[in-house]
Structure 1
Amino acid sequence: MSSLKDKKNKLREEYRRRRDAFHRQLDMATRGLAFRRPPTPLVKLIEQSDVIALYSAIGSEAPTARLAEYLAEMGKITAFPEVVKNSPLEFRKVSNIDLLEAGFRNIAEPNANCPAITPDLIIAPMIAFDRSMNRLGQGGGYYDRTFEKYPEAIRIGLAWSVQETDAVPVQPHDIPLHMIVTESEIIQKVDMNL
């Protein structure tokens, strides 16, 4: 029997392929419209939050650029993560996406002039997810450490619907999400009362 780490790695490979294939078949108009405006349950959470943490989407990840524009229109404070190796993510206030520059693994991060800030709501990327609100990330544990650092922050996963799996293998340090938003559905914890 393979280890849990091996199972997670195989799942990552499979769901990266699925996500990439799905993304490739989308026309440019659909890509541009996807995740442009958040669904009503997420809008309610955004309205209740002052600081919203986004991620810089890479490759076939669910895009966040349009969502950043939407948050700016709403007058929300937007933060992006800075990676500090083997630590929780450090969120920095970004008033202009032009303040992002190549960082860890060449992913766009806030520059040093952006002040550190505590998020009320964290929107996280993922490779796979399940209906129990578990997410499978890249495997570095950055978001789990971050969720532990900010236990009061609402945790939202953003993904394409093809990234859903029956069950994500979990370990004690894995922290579930409160809501998952795809291009076609919202999955949320029953006790969120939205």
Structure 2
Amino acid sequence: MTDTSADLPNQKRHLREKLRFRRRHFAANLDEFTRFAAFRAPPAPLADLLGRQAMIGAYAAWGDEPDILPMLGGYAGDGKIALPHHTDRIDTMGFRRWAPADPLVKGPWGTPQPADDGESAVPTLILCPLVGFDRQGGRIGHGGGHYDRWFAAHAHVLRIGIGWSVQEVDAMPLEPTDMPLDAVLTEQEFIVTGDRL
């Protein structure tokens, strides 16, 4: 019998490449209306969830990731938004409060993040970017494991992935350290994948 678990990192690497290409091509070919309308207002079930949170973890889009910050403008004005922050490449990911007037700086990978002097925060719900997802809550990220480690340390926090519909696969190859999502939001639908919502 072949041990397929040893091949999982390789499977995930190939899947990442395929899904990044798919995402890049899809985002580059979006029509103007879809680009403008996508992720501008949360669907009712998500809006209800967001309204009940003390602190919402989000992200500043990088490359062809969906831009969700316009959708969260009202919550940011209430001081309820925090974005990921890294001090360096080996640092554990944390979150810092963010408001639209606050500048974003380049993090260790060139991704936008709050400045180092921003106030630390612990979200009660995370809207996280992804490279791929399935309808069972499987998520594949960029490969650094930062979100999975944060999720493992804060297991009570609700986890909602954000991606384009073309990033969906039938089944994600998962390792024991991969933390499942509770839901996924795409430009087309809000998919509940777990039983915590």
TM normalised by structure 1 equals 0.92
Q: Aligned-pair distance for 1:91?
A: 0.3
- Kept in 2, the 8 Å contact 1:159–1:182? The answer is yes
Q: Which stretch has the larger CA shift, 183-192 or 15-24?
A: 183-192
The Cα of 1:189 is off from its aligned counterpart by 3.3
Give 1:82's aligned residue. 85
- C-alpha displacement at 1:104, in angstroms? 2.0
Q: After TM superposition, give the deviation of residue 64 of structure 1 in Å.
A: 1.7
How many residues are aligned here?
192
The aligned counterpart of 1:96 is 100
Q: Deviations over 1:138-168 (max 9, x none)?
A: 0000000010121111100000000000111
Note the C-alpha offset of 1:54.
Answer: 0.6
Task: Give the structure 1 partner of residue 165 of structure 2.
Answer: 161
Correspondence for 1:128:
132
Which has the higher mean CA deviation after the structures are superposed, 78-87 or 51-60? 78-87
- Normalised to the residue count of structure 2, the TM-score between the two structures is 0.90
Counterparts of 1:88 and 1:41, CA distance in 2 = 31
Matched, 1:5 2:13: no
The whole-number CA distance in structure 1 between the counterparts of 2:74 and 2:32 is: 19
Tell me if structure 2 keeps the 8 A contact 1:87–1:145: no
Distance in 2 separating the partners of 1:9 and 1:118: 30
1:191 shift after superposition:
2.4
**Which residue of the other structure, out of 17, 31, 38, is the alignment partner of 2:35?**
31
* TM-aligned CA deviation for residue 170 of structure 1: 0.5
Q: 1:56 is matched by which residue type in structure 2?
A: A
Kept in 2, the 8 Å contact 1:87–1:142? The answer is no
1:37–1:70: 8 Å Cα contact kept in structure 2?
no
Correspondence for 2:183: 179
- 1:71 is aligned, of 52, 75, 95, to 75
What is the CA–CA distance in structure 1 between the aligned matches of 2:86 and 2:68, rounded to whole Å?
A: 18
The one-letter code sitting in structure 1 at the alignment partner of 2:83 is F
After TM superposition, the structure 1 stretch with the greater mean CA deviation from structure 2, 184-193 or 42-51, is: 184-193
Q: CA deviation at 1:76?
A: 5.0
After TM superposition, list the pairs within 5 Å mapping 1:143-158 onto structure 2.
Answer: 143-158=147-162
Structure 2 counterpart of 1:11, which letter? Answer: L
SS at match of 2:109: helix
Q: Distance between the aligned counterparts of 1:162 and 1:32, measured in 2?
A: 18
Tell me by how many angstroms 1:69 deviates.
Answer: 1.6
State the AA in 2 paired with 1:98: D
The question of whether the paired residues in 2 share the 8 Å contact of 1:55 and 1:124 is answered with: yes
Give deviations 1:175-194, integer Å, cap 9, x for gaps: 0000101011111135245x
**SS of residue matched to 1:98:** coil
> One-letter code of the match for 2:105?
E
- What code does the residue aligned with 1:33 have? A
